[in-house]
Structure 1
Amino acid sequence: MYELKTKETDRSVIEFIEQVESPKKREDAYQLLDIFTEMTGYEAKMWGPSIIGFGSYHYKYPTGHEGDAPLVGFSPRKAKISLYFATGDDKRKELLDTFGKHTSGKACVYINKVADIDVDVLKKLIVQSVEFLQNMYPDRA
C-alpha cells in the first residue's frame, strides 16, 4: 500500500527554520511563519522533512486514495520559497494575478523572497485556501 511521505511530525518548526542556510531566506521564513499563523489561527507544524503546515484536512478521492494534508503551508527551499495553497478555486487565479513576482505549479506558488510579493494578497490567498478546503473537506483530520 502507498505510504504518504508528507505527514505531520513532532519536529520543531523553529529548529527547522534555524537550519535554513541563507540569512535572508531564514528572515523571510520567520515573516511567513507570523503571517500564516495570524491568518489561519493554527499552530505551525512540520509536515515531512521540510514543509511548515497550518491546520489539516482529511481527503478521500474517488479512487479510494486518502490521507491528511495541511490546509496551507510553505517551505523555505534553497532555490525558491514554496507556498502551498488549495487548487481548484477560481479566486486563486484572480489573486495570483495581483500577487507580485512568482511562478506557479499545480499546487505550489514559488517566490524568491517576501519583498517580491504583495503581503495583503498573500493573506487573502491563505484565507481563500483554508475556506475552500474546509468547505470541500468538512471532516477535519
Structure 2
Amino acid sequence: MKPTGGDVAEFVAAVTPDKRRRDAETLVEVLSEITGLKPVLWGTIIGFGACHYRYPTGTEGDMPLAAFAPRKASSTIYLLEGAEPHAVELAVLGPHTVSRGCLYLKDLTTTDLSALRRIIKRSYALAVADEIPGMTITTA
C-alpha cells in the first residue's frame, strides 16, 4: 500500500451518506489530534504517519501507523494489534463490530468518543513503539 497523494478534504467532502461524511470529518480531527500528523490518502484509506512492516513469514509492505476508511456501511478503524487488547474500552464504546484488525462504527453519535480516543491512542502508541505482536514495524 502506498500514499496516493489525493486531497483528503476533497475525498471526505465526497463521502456518502451524510452521516458517514460527518463521522469522517470527526475522525480526521481525532486522529490528527492524537498523532500530531496530517492525514494522507492511501487509496480510499485516510492514514496518519507511515511505516514499513514485516511478518515472521517474510511478508512485508508499507502502511499508515493509524488509519480509517469511511465506507458506506460503517467507518472502519484499523487496529494493527487487533481488537482484543481493547476489551475494556470496547465494552463501553457503544454499538460496534470488530474483526481481527478492524473496528466498525455505524454512527459516531452513538459512540463514547473518550473510549474511542483511548483505543486509537493506544493503537498508535503500540505501532510507533514497534510493540505489535508478530510484526516488526520500522517507522519512516
**TM superposition score normalised by structure 2:** 0.88
Q: Deviations over 1:3-47 (max 9, x none)?
A: xxx321101111111111222221111111111100111110111
2:31 to 27, 36, 60: 36
Matches within 5 A, 1:124-139: 124-136=118-130, 137=136, 139=138
Task: Tell whether the 8 Å contact from 2:83 to 2:98 is kept in structure 1 after alignment.
Answer: no
Q: Say which SS state the counterpart of residue 139 (structure 1) adopts.
A: strand
Secondary structure of the structure 2 residue equivalent to 1:20: coil
Aligned-partner Cα distance in 1 for 2:69–2:93 = 18
Q: Is the 8 A contact 2:49 2:65 kept in 1?
A: yes
8 Å contact 1:74–1:81 — kept in the other structure? yes
* CA-CA distance at 1:86 after TM superposition: 2.3
Whole-Å Cα distance in 2 between the matches of residues 88 and 74 of structure 1? 14
Structure 1 alignment gaps of length 5 or more: 1-5
1:69 aligns with 2:63: yes
SS at match of 1:94: helix
Q: Map 1:1-141 onto structure 2 (within 5 A).
A: 6-48=1-43, 50-88=44-82, 91-136=85-130, 137=136, 139-141=138-140
Q: Structure 1 CA distance, aligned partners of 2:87 and 2:63?
A: 22
Aligned-residue offset at 1:73: 1.2
| In 1: Cα distance, 2:114 partner to 2:122 partner | 12
Amino-acid identity (%)? 37
How big is the alpha-carbon RMSD for the aligned residues of Structure 1 and Structure 2?
Answer: 1.6
TM-score with structure 1 setting the length: 0.87
Q: Which amino acid aligns with 1:45?
A: V
Moved more, 100-109 or 60-69: 60-69
Unaligned runs of 5+ in 2: 131-135
C-alpha separation in 1, matches of 2:13 and 2:83: 34
One-letter amino acid of the counterpart of residue 113, structure 2: V
Q: Which 4+ stretches in 1 moved above 4 angstroms?
A: none
